[in-house]
Copies of this chain bind each other. A is one copy, B any other.
């Protein structure tokens, strides 16, 4: 090129609110762009004097580096993405928070997206976050379109699966055993003497966590000599009102269950609320259990017996695993976390006898019947 852009470029369009660039800073500080770049990325490679000069220019111009350009040139974004099923309720909030906090410690930023429990939406989000330069991804559970796994593998994109730890799965993950956790609770329920069992679950079709929990219940029944087919099952999306509806439908049957297990706390609280509306006493008339132990479980009345999941620890471990993967210091390895049952007030033997070691929470205020 001879002298084509003589008058063009910067000078020409300075008026349309040009954002300061590295070059502007360099010019203003009387150094090269390389030096400015160094000041920002490896401050120790440049002498004190020039550094201050440059930083002043940065301040003065209100310069902020362009992320896209940076990622483009450095082939690294210090960003990871998390794709969770939903932000609407608190199920993933605590774990994600811990994930984020640990990430901060390592200087990496978190981008979150939600799939609304739709596999196709998740696939889109995976591509979106990848194109956005995510260095790694946090995924929830094992179930997803195979094209997603193919995509991930082809791009050699580091990822960790959380909220599930399935001994039978080939993919590494950090989480807990949904099957075992639910089976333990179901077994405790059966040992209390319940025989008519209801289960309100999330749709199991594309959700391995929900499916494994369901299998846990069935397995417990089998072990105790009950017919797994006798389980009264309703699958419905996670929400308060769907939980309430499912519960109502379960309790309208001729032979009502004496206990309704719920796939998570949100469903359980919905069920609890519905029981209240129907004038059913919990746990005297019917027991209800949840899963997750989110904050609301302790806030409702009566307080909810549920499976406690170590969300914070899980988030932290997931972050550690992902960062290790990204820095190639590590290979995919699973970490299994434990869960435990939190005995509170919504579970009792059929007929209402309280289980041993009962809650300290004051009952009452439940309305007058």
Chain B residues near A131 (CB, 8 Å)? 64-67
How would residues 93 to 105 of chain A score, 1 for a CB under 8 Å from any chain B CB and 0 otherwise?
Answer: 1101100000000
Contact B64 A17 (CB under 8 A): no
Residue of B with least CB distance to A62: B154
> Which one of A174-182, A219-227, A269-277 is at the B interface?
A269-277
- For chain A, give the interface size range: 35 or more
Residue of B with least CB distance to A281: B365
Within 8 A of B (CB), among A121-144: 127-128, 130-133
A111 on the interface (CB 8 Å rule)?
A: yes
How would residues 142 to 170 of chain A score, 1 for a CB under 8 Å from any chain B CB and 0 otherwise?
Answer: 00000000110011100000000000000
Chain B residues near A280 (CB, 8 Å)? 367
Contact B277 A363 (CB under 8 A): yes
Contact A97 B88 (CB under 8 A): yes
Residue of B with least CB distance to A72: B68
Contact B295 A276 (CB under 8 A): no
Contact A277 B64 (CB under 8 A): no
> Which one of A4-12, A229-237, A296-304, A316-324 is at the B interface?
A296-304
Known pairs A240-B299, A296-B299; A277 contacts B365 (CB<8 A): yes
Which single member of B16, B64, B128, B364 contacts A279 (CB below 8 Å)? B364
Known pairs A127-B64, A132-B67, A300-B300; A276 contacts B112 (CB<8 A): no
Number of copies: 2
A341 on the interface (CB 8 Å rule)?
A: no
Complex CA gap A87/B248 in Å reads: 31
Contact B367 A278 (CB under 8 A): yes
A52 on the interface (CB 8 Å rule)?
A: no
Contact B17 A156 (CB under 8 A): yes
Interface of A toward B, CB cutoff 8 Å:
16-17, 19, 62, 64-72, 77, 87-90, 93-94, 96-97, 109, 111-112, 127-128, 130-133, 150-151, 154-156, 240, 248, 251-252, 269-270, 273, 276-282, 295-296, 298-302, 361-367, 369
A sample of 18 inter-chain contacts (CB < 8 A) reads A62-B154, A64-B127, A64-B131, A66-B72, A68-B132, A72-B72, A88-B94, A88-B97, A90-B90, A270-B299, A273-B298, A276-B365, A277-B362, A277-B363, A278-B364, A279-B369, A282-B365, A301-B365
Given A62-B154, A68-B71, A278-B364; 17 other pairs, CB 8 A cutoff: A17-B154, A17-B156, A66-B133, A68-B132, A88-B94, A89-B93, A90-B90, A252-B366, A276-B361, A276-B362, A279-B362, A299-B300, A300-B300, A300-B301, A301-B301, A301-B367, A302-B365
